[in-house]
Amino acid sequence: MPPLAPLSFGDKAYWESRFTDNPEHFDWLVPAPVLLSSIQSALSSSSAQSPEILHIGCGTSELSFHLRNLVSKPMHVSNVDFSLAALQTGNAKEEKIHPSSDPEQHMKWMSLDLLSHQDVVSFRRNTDLYDVIVDKSTSDAISCAEYVTITLPYPITASDIQQAAQKNVDTARVHPMAVLLNNLAYLAKPNAKWLVLSYSSSRFAFMSLKNSEASVIESIEGLEFTDPRLFWRIANVETIDAPEEHQSSHVVGRPAIKLYLYILERTSVEAKIHAGYGQAKLSEKWTGEVAVMADTDLA
């Protein structure tokens, strides 16, 4: 029998086991405060009176607890992840540090597989659209995921612009970043900002029109799948030096580790559900919130 493939950063089982075995907080790439001024600027640029933050792949990062202080009420922060263990840790910690019977004083902790259109469609029926999306190394993990098997036409689509389908197929395997961009487009307001901290200088190289040969774009070619570049544009890219304590102190002359902060901006192209997507599927009940919300939030 061939050996089993090792689990990767894109696998739910990997994260569930990691967060179950290590429930203490852990921050990837940088400590949470490094991102706060950029998140604050994104919030200030929003026209919403009480901007809504979607923190994707929150894991057990301290960032959730910093975001809590940047909004008018904690309920305006939605922490999502596909690991229930991570969400339960975060929810329990908030209950302990900030006990309150007022649901507005709690952040939301919700289970969501960002690569599942079913999850995203049902999730949206329970939430507002978001003004700011915060992503600390979650796109990095998702880039390691297997290509996603999708049904065609893809249920989340641009309202008017239909990608010309040259391939007459019902299913296809698509790069996970293409799926992520289109799924998040369905959850974001026009002009919403998506802040992505990544270790990769080429995480969004496919966004450049000159780079249409990138594997992300190649994977959707000829399919009834909206080109994600219609939904998002790169507004800014900054480099950040990883703080000293995240670099090895035993290596002499090692160059500073560079990280990349991408700011993507949602265009005004509407993301809607494809007309062929069944009504029955649209009314399927979403259960993600129930698993992790405080009792008070369920009343």
Ligand X SMILES: C[S@@+](CC[C@H](N)C(=O)[O-])C[C@H]1O[C@@H](n2cnc3c(N)ncnc32)[C@H](O)[C@@H]1O
Residues that bind ligand X (CB under 6 A): 10, 15, 26-28, 57-59, 61, 81-83, 86, 112-115, 136-138, 140-142
Taking the complex as a whole, the smallest distance from the CB of residue 159 to ligand X amounts, in Å, to 25
Calculated CA dihedral for residues 185, 186, 191, 196, nearest 10 degrees: -40
**Minimal distance, residue 93 CB to ligand X, in Å:** 14
Residue 230's nearest CA partner among 266, 190, 262 is: 266
Nearest to 158 by CA among 268, 235, 290: 268
CA pair distance 199, 261, nearest whole angstrom:
9
The residue (of 155 and 267) whose beta carbon lies closer to ligand X is: 155
Pairing outcome for strands 130-136 and 188-198: parallel
Of the pair 13, 165, the CB lying nearest ligand X is at: 13
Distance in Å, CB of 240 to ligand X, minimum = 13
At its nearest, how many Å lie between ligand X and the CB of residue 222? 25
Nearer to ligand X by Cβ, of 81 and 163: the residue is 81
> Which secondary-structure segment (H or E) carries 297?
helix 295-298
87 versus 163: smaller Cβ distance to ligand X? 87
Helix (H, G, I), strand (E, B) or coil at 255: coil
Least distance (Å) between residue 48 CB and ligand X: 23
247 token code pair: 């670099």
Which position's Cβ is nearest ligand X? Answer: 57
Peptide bond into 153 cis (omega under 30): yes
Identity of the residue, 11 or 270, whose beta carbon is nearer to ligand X in the bound complex: 11
